[in-house]
Structure 1
Amino acid sequence: MDFKKIIALLVFFFAVTASKAQYQFSGYVDAESAKGAVYLSVVDDYRKISGVFPEQILNKTYPDSTGYFSFSGDNLPAENKIYRIHVDMCNENDQNTAHFTGQCPNSKEVNFIANNNDTLTLPFSFDNEMFCLVISKNEKANAFLKIDSLKHDMRFAFGTYRSEANRKINSKKWFSILQQYGEQLHEPLAELYSYSFFSDRAQPLHAYYLEDLKTNSYYDNLLNRLKEKYPNSNYTEQYREELASDKYLIATIKPDGLSWWVYGLGAIAALSIFGNFFFYGKLRKMKSFFPPNKESLSNQEKKVLELILENKSNKEIASDMFVSLSTVKTHINNLYKKLNVSSREDVKNLYSS
């Protein structure tokens, strides 16, 4: 065969091969991890961004004697998505249970952002640690490692002084740091990585997140950035639904103390009591200004009343009316009851005008 034809065939072969294997993710695992399988997973649910989930796994391979492994193909989406490579040291007897719960204590992982055109390598770090470096032409690839570094610094800051005052100060500080750093990366998927951390209900920051959500426009702005860059993505829809749910949650949270309607009823009751006392006092004044009608009195009681108003004594009244002293006392007692008084002075005051 002509040498030029061989060269042409080789060029064609490599071109076809390259077109079918547009992505390549490779790296090294340490000697202990080299005994297990290495998995490539796609993370469509950012709440499952860390862990072992069989439904996410795309491919599986085994490292060679040097710990080197590689994944390649042409079956990934053209847009950026979240991927994970993990090495699984769970034995076969434990895998079903451990993978079902998403946890495997002998698993090591690294998350990154990539697409179907990316070449990505995971070399050992300067201290020979695996999965601590991500090298890629995709500048967004190592965003998660950068955020993990910030989260490490945050945990250290929270652990320095274990007090409520320290927690509040650091909560506000690290919320701002994580949010601003995510925006600076210009990659909404990286922001979702931070969001999934501090909005997690199992995290101590969740209460502060709900409080921050009431006034901070960051969350609505993040939704807009997701809609603009990933309009048809599962990530965007998931975030939109979660944000709406959390906003509904904070809108229905009752403030500490009694409900507003309890205070309202209390105010109405207080006004009612005050009004009763007010009108009762007014009534008393009216009664004192307008003496009771004498028509309720008998003829004898009216005669006794007139003599009392003339300052006559009981004996004088008995003499004037030609009755006994005991009869006068009986008339006076009946008079007091009908006029709602208890003494001669009360009677005189009642009719003094």
Structure 2
Amino acid sequence: MRIKLSLLFFLLAFASSKAQYSFSGHIDNKEWHDNVYLSIIEDYRKISGVYSEQIIARVKTDSLGFFKFSGDQLENENRIYRIHVDNCFDDDQNQSHFNGHCDDSKEVIFIAKNSDTIVFPFSFDKQMFCDIKSNNEKAIVFVKIDSLREEMKFAFGEYRSEASRKLNNKKWFKTLQDFGHNLNEPIAELYIYSFLSDRRNDLHEHYLEDLKTNTYYNDLLGRLEKRYPNSPYTKQYKAELTSDEFIVNDKNDSNFNWNYLLYTVLVLSLIGNIWFWLNRKKLQNQTLIEAKDQLTKQEQNILSLLLEEKSNKEIADTLFVSLSTVKTHVNNIYKKLNVSSRDEIKSLFNS
């Protein structure tokens, strides 16, 4: 009996120790439909919006607007999640979720893992999704970043001159970058990075310039690979960074003075031609020496007289041999030097 009780206790303890998440809160059900959606975000370029492929659960609120997501199927390390409500009607809700846009929606973005408990209570005057209470200190980082971005929007809106815009670009770019780094959460830095590098905003040009000299981006990659080596965020960031670095380097190449390259090519070509000619001459001389070594002493004497443009009779008189002997030696010389006429011999040795 005691063994059975001990076994039962062990099983209950094991079941209770299994990690489970719990995300709960309230919505104003007078303003919003009673459907609440939970999404996992694996593409940090799609953090804000409504995307059907990201939705992993849907619950309905009770009469007081309370909702709760729970289970044990989430990742065991930090990921980006979104909870949202919208007022799309049933007949157009699927279309809104498909194209990633709903004019009338409210969302909250947070970081969580499978063992986290998170509560989204009402704040002042029934404002929802403005506060996050969690046992995971990283859960609220996106709220902090959004708060800083609101300050940035105010600073940009105060003065609209071109000079003010450039100064604010430089100031807030660095401010957001440093703020993200100090959060000690690389995933949160990606939220900032996706904003600063977005091709649709004014900061993108500054980002490309910053990428040329700032080691921050490769440092961020290092932090991601150390903390989240196998996450989709790390793979996506690495691919984007490689692509943007290629763009930056390609632009640098386009500013290169091509005249210098042309002059260099011409000089190298001239040096190459001289080297080729000298080596060809050297090889040709070597070939002629080897060819002459094949000739007998008498054939070499006749070759010298041929190069002096002596006739066969003149060669015979000079060497005191018969005319037929000279003709035989000349034919042997032709064969050994692989020529067929006196002109070819002169061309071969005089070149």
TM-score, length of structure 2 as denominator length: 0.69
Q: Which residue of 1 aligns with 2:22?
A: 24
AA of the residue aligned to 1:120: I
1:284-341 deviation per Cα after TM superposition (whole angstroms, max 9, x unaligned): xxxxxxxxxxxxxxxxxxxxxxxxxxxxxxxxxxxxxxxxxxxxxxxxxxxxxxxxxx
Q: Which residue of 1 aligns with 2:130?
A: 132
Q: Equivalent residues in 2 for 1:3-152 (5 A)? A: 15=13, 18-19=16-17, 22-152=20-150
Task: Indicate conservation of the 8 Å contact 1:84/1:109, yes or no.
Answer: yes
AA of the residue aligned to 1:227: E
Task: Indicate conservation of the 8 Å contact 1:40/1:57, yes or no.
Answer: yes
1:141-163 deviation per Cα after TM superposition (whole angstroms, max 9, x unaligned): 00000000011100111111111
Secondary structure of 2:84's counterpart equals strand
The gaps in structure 1 that reach 5 residues or longer are 269-353
Secondary structure of 2:126's counterpart equals coil
Structure 1 residue 260: deviation in Å?
A: 3.9
Structure 1 residue 36: deviation in Å?
A: 3.2
User: Following superposition, which runs of at least 4 residues in structure 1 exceed 2 angstroms of deviation?
Assistant: 7-21, 31-36, 253-265
Task: Indicate conservation of the 8 Å contact 2:78/2:112, yes or no.
Answer: yes
CA distance, structure 1, for counterparts of residue 64 and residue 9 of structure 2:
30
Q: Is 147-156 or 100-109 further displaced after alignment? A: 100-109
AA of the residue aligned to 1:46: Y
Describe the shift of the 1:9–1:110 C-alpha distance in structure 2 as closer, same or farther (beyond 3 A): farther
1:62-96 deviation per Cα after TM superposition (whole angstroms, max 9, x unaligned): 11111110000000111000000001211122223
Task: Indicate conservation of the 8 Å contact 1:21/1:72, yes or no.
Answer: no
Q: Of the two, which has the highest radius of gyration?
A: 1
Q: Which residue of 1 aligns with 2:337?
A: none
Q: Which residue of 1 aligns with 2:214?
A: 216
Describe the shift of the 1:69–1:21 C-alpha distance in structure 2 as closer, same or farther (beyond 3 A): farther
Tell whether 2:245 aligns with 1:247.
yes
TM-score, length of structure 1 as denominator length: 0.68
Structure 1 residue 126: deviation in Å?
A: 2.6
CA distance, structure 1, for counterparts of residue 143 and residue 185 of structure 2:
14
Describe the shift of the 1:24–1:205 C-alpha distance in structure 2 as closer, same or farther (beyond 3 A): same
AA of the residue aligned to 1:44: E
CA distance, structure 1, for counterparts of residue 125 and residue 169 of structure 2:
32
The gaps in structure 2 that reach 5 residues or longer are 267-351
CA distance, structure 1, for counterparts of residue 75 and residue 192 of structure 2:
23
Describe the shift of the 1:76–1:201 C-alpha distance in structure 2 as closer, same or farther (beyond 3 A): same
Task: Indicate conservation of the 8 Å contact 1:20/1:73, yes or no.
Answer: no
AA of the residue aligned to 2:218: D
CA distance, structure 2, for counterparts of residue 124 and residue 76 of structure 1:
25
Number of matched residues? 262
CA distance, structure 2, for counterparts of residue 10 and residue 178 of structure 1:
53
Describe the shift of the 1:68–1:11 C-alpha distance in structure 2 as closer, same or farther (beyond 3 A): farther
CA distance, structure 2, for counterparts of residue 19 and residue 58 of structure 1:
24
Identity of aligned residues (%): 56
